[in-house]
Structure 1
Amino acid sequence: MEQQSVARLKEIIGIPVDEIRVAPLRSYGPGELIGRNAFLIFSAALLGRCDSGGIAIGIHSGTPYYDCSPDFTQKIDALIQQCSDGRLSVMAPFVHWSKDDVYSYFLSKGIPLKETYSCEAGSSPPCGRCASCLDRARLECSQKGASSV
């Protein structure tokens, strides 16, 4: 589901995206996947076609996960810059934004929420019970309430 969402959003937003496939050795449920964002960033640096420029990640504030924090972003950026002799950097434009702020930004740019995916269980359809699904349901309800006023 996440892969399909990225494919649709790259067309809508008009950004290049490299796909790297990795098969897990075990399955995971909802909640924190320790090291996930660090893994994704280092995989992009090692396996992606980015010799220079930025590696963007869409983390936002308001989660209990360390790898969604400004401290993580600062440290991983320093590591990527050091490992690439300054050719690469990590960009996390939403790291200080709440999920509500990100949601409002997407709406203001005309990016349909239905094209996004954020279920921690990775299920299809989304589980409806994890923190990401509950956040999404809350945002969709608040948007429906605002649009009916």
Structure 2
Amino acid sequence: MLQEYQGYVLAYRLRRAVGGRVAPPGDQLTLAGYAAVRLERQDLARRLVREGLDAVWMRRLDSLSDQLMFGFWLNPAEVAAFLRAAIREGSHPALGEPAAFAALLTPGERARLGEAGVAQVCAHHLACFALAAPMLDPDGLNTAWQRVEATRPPLFLDELSG
């Protein structure tokens, strides 16, 4: 779950940097807040499986998924939708430039990671953007996943270090 939270924080920071319609509503969740929303989402999903589909519950599940940015980095459809929306908002250098993506990290995170770690974090997340390409070229999905897996970063957020 810590990797998932870390992905949420970076997605939140990126969406905030892009701004406009892709900016996340509300404040960034703390780790405890994220865990509480994640548990609520998980309980609701179980209830839907157990008790059947319900329109109100489905809308709440979608709302919780959106709040958590669930699947933001690793879901090709989500990545493609984000990139299309970000481009409509005027794009952002962090969508393709490692140095601009690195600027999303705090000074403490960059120090904790070191130069090689920052490069790995940037390479991983920029590789995730390539997951959108297979929406046009399904054969490219395997290559995109290999890049994503080869660059998986360690835990490094300020919120996760004691």
| TM-score normalised over the length of structure 2 | 0.31
Structure holding more helix per residue: 2
Structure holding more strand per residue: 1
| TM-score normalised over the length of structure 1 | 0.32
